[in-house]
Structure 1
Amino acid sequence: MPHLPARALILAIGGLLAGAAMAAECVVPAKPGGGMDLTCKLARSGLEAAAGAGSRGIDPALRIRYLPGGIGAVAWNSVVSQQRADAEALVVYSGGSLLNLAQGKYGKATEQDVRWVAALGADYGMIAVRSDSPWRTLDELLRALKRNPAKVTIGGGGTLGSQDWLKLAIIGKQAGIVPRSLRFVAFEGGGESFTALLAGHVQAVSGDVSEAALHAADGRIRVLAVLSDERLPGVLAGVPTAREQGFPISWPIIRGVYMGPDVSDAAYRKWVAAFDAAMKADGFDRLRAAHGLYPFAMTGDALTRHVARTVREYRAQADAFGLVR
C-alpha cells in the first residue's frame, strides 16, 4: 500500500480536524468494551497518529460517545432523525449492523439511508468458553449441545437472528443441531457477553475475535475456533479454524464508520480523504492490529457498493433460516 508524504497527511487530516471546530464525535452504538468501542478508538488513534497530533492517544477533535440500544438501532435512528446533516458525527457499524438491515430490524431502513465513510479493518467470528470449561474443542461443545441444548447457555450480541446467533446456528445445523433449540442469551454487545462468561452466567460465547483477544491473552478464556479461512496471527495464532475442525464456515466482519444522509458532499469527501490518508500512513497497520482487527481498507463509493452487496448476501442467509421480516 503506498504511503503519502508526512506533510500531505498533516495538511489533509489537520485541515479536517480544524474545520470540525474540535467537536467531532464518534458514536459507539453499544456499551464500552466490545468491538464497536475498539473501532471508535482505532478511528481516533489512526487520525491522530497520521496528523501528528500528540502522543497521548486521545484526539480531542474526535470524542467518543456511547449510545447503546437495540443492537445499533438507537444510534441509527438518532442519526437519520436528528443528525441527518451533522458533518461532525461518525457512527460505528459492523457486519452485525448490516445483518440487522438485511433482516428489517431497523424498521423500514435500508443501507441507502446513511453515507458510508470508511471500513477500517476486518474482524472474524469465534466461539469461546472459559479456561476452566470441560470443552476443549469445538466438536466437544457441539456434542454437548446436541445431547441437551437446554443445559448449555450461549451468550452473544443481539437476539434471535443476530450475527452471533446466526454463525452459531450455521455451525449447529452442520452438526445436526436444530438452531432454534439453542439456549441463546442476548446481550447488548461483546463486552457484556464476555463479562457474563467470566462470571459463569453463560457457558460459551459466540462473538468476535477482536473481543476475545482482550481476554485470551491473560488466559481467562479458551477460544475453541476462529471463523476465518486460515489461522489468524497474533494472540490467537494457535487456535484452529472451524474449517480445520470439519465445519466449513467463515464469518468475516468489516468494521467502520458512517454518517447522516444529508451531510454535504464536501464534508463527506473530506472525511473520506482523511480516512484514506490515515489508512495509508506508516504505522496504521500496527495500530489496527493493536485494536484486534485485520487488514481491510475501503472508503467512499467503493465501500457503498460493498455494503449494498453484503446486505444482499446477508438477506439470503437470513432468509434461509426464516429470519427476514
Structure 2
Amino acid sequence: MLKPILSSLMIVVSALGFNAEAEQSQIGQNTQFIVPAGPGGSLDIVARKLQDLLMQKKLVSNFVVLNKPGAGAQLALNVMDQNVGNPNYLMTLPTAIINNSYLGMIKTTYKNYTPVVMLLDGYVGVLVRSDSPFKTARDLVEHLKKQPDSLNIAIAASLGNDVHVGVAKALMLAGVDISKLTFVPFKSSSESITNLIGGNVEVVGATTPTIIPALQTGKVRVLAIGSPERLKGVLGDVPTWKELGVDTITSSPQGVLAPKGIKPEEVRFWESAFKQVAETQEWKQFLEQNQWAPRFMTASETMAMLEEETATIEEVLSKLHIKKQ
C-alpha cells in the first residue's frame, strides 16, 4: 500500500517541478513593457528600440510596448502593482519617480518595485533664442543672480521633474537663488522650444534628443549642457557646466523596472537580455544619434545609484520650495 502512495507523491512532486520549470521558461514569451509617457517622446523612443532589438536578437519571443501616460507615472506603476511577482511585466524606469514621490504626486517609491537595469543617460541643456542677449551661460547666470525672477524658464512636462531639477541644480551651484526663479511647465520639450522661438519664454531646459533638431533650425542657441565632457556632432561646440566652473552633471537616466516580488533568477534573465542589447552596434548607434550616453548597470548597481540620486534630487527640490501635494 505504501509503495503506490510514494509513487503518487513522486509524480506530484515531479509535476510541480516541471510546472516551475515551465513557468520559468515562459519569461520573455509574452512581455508587456509599460511606458509612463505618450508616444513619440524620449521614453517611448527608447522602449521601441529595446523592443526592436530584443525581438531581432531573439532574446524574447514577444515584447509589446504599451503607453500609460499620466499622474506622474502612477498609472504605469498601477500596472506593476497589479502584477506582483510577474517577470513578464516591465516598465521604463525614469528617475522622475524619485521626484514625483518626494512631491507627493505618486504614493509610492522605487523601493516598492524591482529595479532591473539602468541603460542610458540623457543630459539636460539650457537653450535661448539665437537673438538672445545671453551669449553664454555666464551671461545668463550673472543676470539671474541680480534678477532671478525676471525670466520665464520653460521645462517639460511638470514642475519638479528631472529637467526642472537639472536646470535648477546647475544654476544653484552657480550661485543663483533658485527659489526665486520662474519655471513654466509645458506638455513637451518640443512645445517649450516652440514657445521659446515664439518669444513667450526666454530660456528652455530640455534633454539632448529634443535639443538636436531644435539646434539644427538655427533659431536657438545652447548655452550649456550637463554632460561630464563635451558631446559630439552638432553639440560638439556646446560647453559643459564643468567647463564653466560649475561642478555638476545634469542628467535624465533611463532604466527598466519590474514588479515587486520577482525571483533573483528572473532578474538575472532580464539583466542578461538587456546587457546583450546594450552591447550591440545598433544600440550604440542609436544612443550616439540621440546624444545619449551608455550607462549599463546591473540591478544592484541601479539600486545604489537610485539611492544617491534621491539625496541630490531632494536637496534641489527642497530649495525650489515646490509645494508638496
Give the unaligned 5+ runs of structure 2. 1-23
Q: Say which SS state the counterpart of residue 295 (structure 2) adopts.
A: coil
Q: Name the TM-score, length of structure 2 as normaliser.
A: 0.77
One-letter code of the match for 1:292?
Q
1:155 aligns with 2:164: no
In structure 1, the partner of 2:76 is 75
Give 1:237 deviation, angstroms: 0.9
The alpha-carbon distance between structure 1 residues 185 and 269, as it changes in their structure 2 partners (threshold 3 A), is: same
In structure 1, the partner of 2:31 is 24
In structure 2, the partner of 1:222 is 221
Of 175-184 and 228-237, deviating more is 175-184
1:109 aligns with 2:131: no
One-letter code of the match for 2:294?
P
In structure 2, the partner of 1:250 is 249
8 A Cα contact 1:70 1:188, kept in partner: no
Q: Say which SS state the counterpart of residue 243 (structure 1) adopts.
A: coil
In structure 1, the partner of 2:123 is 124
Separation in structure 1 between the aligned mates of residue 305 and residue 194 of structure 2, nearest angstrom? 33
Matches within 5 A, 1:1-325: 20-21=28-29, 23-51=30-58, 61-80=62-81, 82-101=82-101, 103-146=102-145, 148-319=147-318
The alpha-carbon distance between structure 1 residues 220 and 197, as it changes in their structure 2 partners (threshold 3 A), is: same
8 A Cα contact 2:85 2:260, kept in partner: yes
Q: Bigger relative contact order, structure 1 or 2, given CA contacts below 8 A and separation 6+? A: 1
Q: Say which SS state the counterpart of residue 225 (structure 2) adopts.
A: strand
Give the unaligned 5+ runs of structure 1. 1-15, 54-59
One-letter code of the match for 1:45?
D
Q: Say which SS state the counterpart of residue 293 (structure 2) adopts.
A: coil
Give 1:260 deviation, angstroms: 1.4
One-letter code of the match for 1:62?
F
Q: Deviations over 1:267-302 (max 9, x none)?
A: 443222211221223443222222431121112233
- CA root-mean-square deviation: 3.2
One-letter code of the match for 1:249?
T
One-letter code of the match for 1:235?
V
Separation in structure 2 between the aligned mates of residue 301 and residue 145 of structure 1, nearest angstrom? 40
Percent sequence identity over aligned pairs:
25
Q: Say which SS state the counterpart of residue 62 (structure 2) adopts.
A: coil
Give 1:223 deviation, angstroms: 1.2
One-letter code of the match for 2:84?
R
Separation in structure 1 between the aligned mates of residue 25 and residue 146 of structure 2, nearest angstrom? 56
In structure 2, the partner of 1:3 is none
**Which is higher, the Rg of structure 1 or of structure 2?**
2
One-letter code of the match for 1:29?
P
Q: Say which SS state the counterpart of residue 271 (structure 1) adopts.
A: helix
Q: Say which SS state the counterpart of residue 206 (structure 2) adopts.
A: strand
Q: Say which SS state the counterpart of residue 207 (structure 1) adopts.
A: strand
8 A Cα contact 1:26 1:91, kept in partner: yes
Give 1:178 deviation, angstroms: 2.5
One-letter code of the match for 2:260?
P
The alpha-carbon distance between structure 1 residues 192 and 72, as it changes in their structure 2 partners (threshold 3 A), is: farther
Of 198-207 and 140-149, deviating more is 140-149
8 A Cα contact 1:111 1:308, kept in partner: no
Q: Deviations over 1:17-75 (max 9, x none)?
A: 98544x4333221233433223213322332443399xxxxxx9333322222332332
Give 1:239 deviation, angstroms: 0.4
The alpha-carbon distance between structure 1 residues 305 and 250, as it changes in their structure 2 partners (threshold 3 A), is: closer
Separation in structure 1 between the aligned mates of residue 46 and residue 78 of structure 2, nearest angstrom? 20
Of 210-219 and 225-234, deviating more is 210-219
